[in-house]
Structure 1
Amino acid sequence: MIGKDDMMTEATNTVLDRRAAQERANTHFRFPRDLLQEVINYSTGMLGRCFSSIPTDATPDVGVAHIFLFRQVIELADTIEVMLSRGCVSPIRVVLRSMFESTVSLQYQLESEDDIDRRTLSWVQADIRQRRRASERIRDFEISDELTEKMPPEVQDDVLNHIDAMTVALNKPHMREVVEEYDRVRKQRRKWKQGGAPRWYSLFEGPRSFELLAKRFHWSDLYDISYREWSAVLHGQGGVQEIFQSAEGGSTTLKGLRYPIDTIYFMVNLAANFLLQAIIIISNEYRPDEANERNAWYMTEIKPKLDKLGKMKLTIERETLEW
């Protein structure tokens, strides 16, 4: 293991100045970081209380799925808080995309009391199928590629056992309705020559795309303006105009890593609001008696800080590397 003192290569400061990034974080990002941390801290307690409140007679897998999604939103918010504390702000957009998707998924599953089981189990079966397909790819790759013939027998057995376990999970009685609906929609899509597996939220006449799912909960503007940009960055296509700039004399400047961006306060505001939305959704379902206490915490500890954050503007001279 290479320790810090054993590192032979130093970063080029004009490209990556960790100390300067840390100083910026301490100067400009302390307030939004502390705000997000407070929401995260509150959500950790809510997570444990909701988990302990899953009814013992609940349909299998349903409560666990809700807890998983809520935990995922918390973990993504925590990731953003860590990135913010180190001055690594631009990649936060990629994390926000996943955070948005998880929040909307939880929102859809718990939207209607009558549809909770069907919608949640639709999500569960999609997760099971995805994991089974991953193992099937490993199995098929092992058969066709001589390089994987060296795979230890116990690993091969684990892959095959995992495929069997996922198949058993799909065949459980409480999964029958959603599996039949999946098969029906899949057959229909093939008839209409629409490739790919149906989205889990499209089952039982649900929204056909994530765009429609987002619009269902009045996230249209966020989807159209921000989500598309986040997706572009995730797929390696967005943000080029932020990195390169024309300079005097026809030269080109390149911003260093961990450079600050003007929308950072807006992004932290979104992260806090995604997590707040998830807190409201899941606590209304599993801890409804805490609504007054939760609302009081929000009005006292969070809303004034969110209002302040919404008025903050970032003005920092950006370092560039001239070519």
Structure 2
Amino acid sequence: MLNRTILNPEYDALLNEISRVFEQCVDFGGTVLDTIQKHPINEYTDSTVFLLLRDYLEYLDGISILIKSGNTEAAIPIIRSMFEHFLSIRYILDRHSADRAASYHVAHIKSRIKLHKQYSKEEIGKFKKTLEESNYSFPLPEIDATERIQNLDSLLNGKYKRINDEWDKTRKRNKKEKSGGKTPNWYSLFSGPKTLYELAAHLKQLPEYELLYRTWSAKTHANSAIHSVFSTGYTKPLRTPESLKTVSTWALTWSFTLFEEILNKYRKRKKQTYAWFYVYLRKTYLRVTSGEDLINIIQEK
């Protein structure tokens, strides 16, 4: 079921080559993060793009580790999340960056308030009952988060008041139209896309959403396990490389796109550095994205 030793030298060399390219992308991503810090635009855009890209690079680094061991199927939930980060960063960079980034901040603040309230004296009893019904017996201390909630509320009604008012307006509109859910997505504010599908359509990334994201979602939500048998006629062993080309193609393509667009926004002079970086990796990238199979695998049935 699992062979941890890669016996094919050519296959092992390919995995190491692609993994190194991912590592170099992560390293260059650090240069992009540094550029954001050294050439700030505004606190909302800078902090949001920086942190979204930081998470994106962490996922990219994780995929490089999985590819090196040949476990590309396990990378699918990771690249699915990367796609959402990719859309989020591009949406903020597209236009009205400060307002869109501040909307992301407001969404975070509201989620923190909701979490604090779950552990408040008024709500903790409900959670304790849920734990008891699920046969959990560990103690759950009551947390008085009144001051924290007040501090967060003061941000919403002070620094973020204009964005918070827009949030409330969007929530009421969604409720009236019965669309987009009761709680708005941060990108829905200021008449933005209501759903991730609409966000992908807005950014002209709908093909990736339809052809990739939907399939990846099925795997992430445990809805495609049987497919691993139906598609081949037998139960596949672990660490099969069938997703190597897809995962590598899109992770690298999105990374190159993000690096270029962020540098365009923050420091166009750095584009020469990006050009050198891309040329350095271009040979492997073209090999990965070509129409030819990276490897031919013959499974014993």
The correspondence of residues 211-226 of structure 1 with structure 2, limited to 5 A, is 211-226=197-212
The correspondence of residues 47-66 of structure 1 with structure 2, limited to 5 A, is 47-55=33-41, 58=42, 60-66=43-49
Matched letter for residue 274 of structure 1? W
User: Measured at CA, do residues 89 and 160 of structure 1 come closer, stay the same or move farther in structure 2, by a change above 3 Å?
Assistant: farther
| Conservation of the 8 A alpha-carbon contact between 1:88 and 1:258 | yes
User: What whole-Å deviation, never above 9, does each CA across 1:10-66 have from its counterpart, x for those lacking one?
Assistant: xxxxx22223499786244122222222222211122123223225xx3x4331111
User: Measured at CA, do residues 117 and 83 of structure 1 come closer, stay the same or move farther in structure 2, by a change above 3 Å?
Assistant: same
The correspondence of residues 1-323 of structure 1 with structure 2, limited to 5 A, is 15-20=1-6, 26-55=12-41, 58=42, 60-112=43-95, 115-139=96-120, 141-144=123-126, 145=128, 150-152=139-141, 156-157=143-144, 159-173=145-159, 175-194=160-179, 195-243=181-229, 253-261=234-242, 263-298=243-278, 300-311=279-290, 312-313=292-293, 314-318=295-299
| Conservation of the 8 A alpha-carbon contact between 1:96 and 1:271 | yes
> C-alpha separation between the residues in 2 aligned to 1:21 and 1:242?
23
User: What whole-Å deviation, never above 9, does each CA across 1:180-209 have from its counterpart, x for those lacking one?
Assistant: 011011112222344421111111111122
What runs of 5+ residues in structure 1 fail to find an aligned partner? 1-14, 248-252
User: What whole-Å deviation, never above 9, does each CA across 1:230-277 have from its counterpart, x for those lacking one?
Assistant: 111111112522245676xxxxx322222221x312210110111112
User: Measured at CA, do residues 302 and 245 of structure 1 come closer, stay the same or move farther in structure 2, by a change above 3 Å?
Assistant: closer
> C-alpha separation between the residues in 2 aligned to 1:149 and 1:267?
41
Superposition RMSD on alpha carbons, in Å? 2.6
After the TM superposition, which of the residue ranges 72-81 and 207-216 deviates more from structure 2? Answer: 207-216
Task: Give TM-score scaled by structure 1 length.
Answer: 0.80
What runs of 5+ residues in structure 2 fail to find an aligned partner? none
Q: How many residues align?
A: 290
| Conservation of the 8 A alpha-carbon contact between 2:72 and 2:244 | yes
| Percent of residue pairs identical | 22
| Conservation of the 8 A alpha-carbon contact between 1:46 and 1:283 | yes
> C-alpha separation between the residues in 2 aligned to 1:64 and 1:215?
26
| Conservation of the 8 A alpha-carbon contact between 2:79 and 2:251 | yes
Matched letter for residue 251 of structure 2? A
User: Measured at CA, do residues 239 and 150 of structure 1 come closer, stay the same or move farther in structure 2, by a change above 3 Å?
Assistant: closer
User: Measured at CA, do residues 163 and 227 of structure 1 come closer, stay the same or move farther in structure 2, by a change above 3 Å?
Assistant: same
1:10 maps to what in 2?
A: none
Matched letter for residue 270 of structure 1? W
Secondary structure of the residue that 2:235 maps to in structure 1? strand
